[in-house]
């Protein structure tokens, strides 16, 4: 008779997986108002190995946290700083063994002049985060696109990138322009942004930007789910055939339908539009005219 072995318990989740921890607290009859206190503790103690040091929690909360959660499920394995110390690239290992990159970019707002006078401000930092391991979009010019798609990050793994980055800089802005197509991991990205704009992070929605190659069905609901969050669309070419050459996923999101979605989106707020300069392909004498024709329906935009 074959012996049966008990199945191993599921891995503990990130304490920043907001929906999961709220559901667990609700099931245990613990008030959710304790959750931001836990997040604040981890943010202030990014190297903490457990959550026993979080102050003033009910006894039931400590037991639940020990059994089902970890302060972070990812590990910062390497950090490379540029010679001018304006950029720090972080290599982060996930619980499933895969790795993603996040990049801290620093800039001094006092450089240059405004209205003939020195500009106010100081050093500010932007964090570029990843939303997926690999990417299914397959853009020809993108290193991540050559990896293919491997997995989505959880909302907690997205937030943890900021926790790791906080060791190096106080983050003021976040851009979803790292590995992956954010709108292909829509639910986790939305949940992560809701965490980042609430306590204890309290990032301004206007300082968060989500970049996409143009996932139309997600653009159609983006403003309702994430009001005041900036949207950046990678048009890259004003011609559908050329877009398909450099962005195979463009076949599923035709330029005409994308422009319709952006026109509707623009009724609520403006967006950022980016294009790509590839000599002989997107840089040709006819391109400026084609670009203008494609954008005629859009009233106001940032390029």
pLDDT in tens, 206-225: 999 999 999 999 999 999 99
Same domain, 111 and 150: yes
Same domain, 125 and 251: yes
Same domain, 194 and 113: yes
Q: How many domains does the chain have?
A: 2
Question: pLDDT grade, residue 3 (50/70/90)?
Answer: very low
Q: CA-based Rg of the chain, rounded to a whole angstrom?
A: 22
Residue 156 located in a structural domain: yes
Residue 303 located in a structural domain: no
Residues 6 or more apart in contact with residue 125 via CB below 8 angstroms:
104, 105, 106, 165, 169, 170, 171, 172, 173
pLDDT(4) > 50 = no
pLDDT in tens, 255-285: 889 988 988 888 778 888 887 766 555 555 4
pTM: 0.89
- Look at residue 298 in the predicted model and tell me its pLDDT: 65
- Look at residue 114 in the predicted model and tell me its pLDDT: 63
Same domain, 169 and 152: yes
Same domain, 184 and 36: no
- Look at residue 280 in the predicted model and tell me its pLDDT: 56
pLDDT(119) > 80 = no
Same domain, 38 and 186: no
Same domain, 157 and 63: no
Question: pLDDT grade, residue 42 (50/70/90)?
Answer: very high
pLDDT(1) > 60 = no
| Cis ω before 200 (30° cut-off from 0) | yes
- Look at residue 303 in the predicted model and tell me its pLDDT: 47
Rounded mean pLDDT of 287-295?
Answer: 60
Element of type H or E holding 174: strand 171-176
pLDDT in tens, 157-181: 999 999 999 999 999 999 999 999 9
The CATH number of the domain where 196 resides is what? 3.20.20.70
pLDDT(9) > 90 = no
Range of the domain at 63: 13-70
pLDDT(185) > 50 = yes
């Amino acid at each position: 008779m074959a012996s049966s072995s008990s199945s191993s318990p599921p891995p503990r989740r990130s304490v920043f997986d907001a929906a999961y921890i709220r559901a667990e607290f609700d099931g245990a009859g613990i008030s959710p108002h304790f959750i931001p206190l836990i997040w604040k503790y981890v943010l202030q103690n990014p190297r903490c190995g457990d959550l026993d040091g979080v102050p003033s929690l009910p006894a039931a909360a400590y037991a639940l946290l020990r059994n089902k959660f970890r302060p972070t499920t990812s590990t910062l394995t390497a950090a490379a700083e540029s010679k001018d110390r304006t950029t720090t690239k972080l290599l982060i290992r996930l619980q499933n063994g895969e790795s993603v990159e996040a990049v801290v970019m620093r800039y001094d707002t006092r450089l240059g002049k405004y209205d003939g006078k020195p500009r106010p401000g100081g050093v500010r930092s932007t964090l570029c985060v990843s939303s997926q391991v690999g990417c299914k979009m397959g853009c020809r010019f993108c290193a991540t696109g050559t990896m293919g798609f491997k997995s989505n990050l959880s909302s907690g793994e997205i937030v943890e990138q900021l926790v790791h980055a906080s060791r190096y800089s106080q983050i003021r802005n976040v851009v979803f322009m790292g590995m992956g197509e954010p709108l292909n991991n829509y639910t986790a990205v939305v949940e992560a942004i809701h965490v980042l704009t609430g306590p204890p992070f309290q990032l301004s929605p206007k300082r968060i930007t989500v970049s996409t190659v143009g996932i139309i069905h997600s653009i159609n609901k983006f403003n309702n789910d994430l009001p005041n969050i900036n949207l950046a669309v990678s048009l890259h070419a004003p011609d559908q055939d050329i877009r398909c050459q450099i962005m195979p996923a463009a076949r599923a999101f035709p330029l005409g339908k994308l422009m319709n979605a952006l026109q509707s989106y623009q009724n609520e707020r403006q967006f950022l539009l980016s294009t790509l300069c590839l000599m002989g392909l997107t840089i040709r004498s006819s391109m400026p005219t084609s670009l203008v024709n494609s954008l005629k329906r859009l009233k106001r935009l940032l390029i």
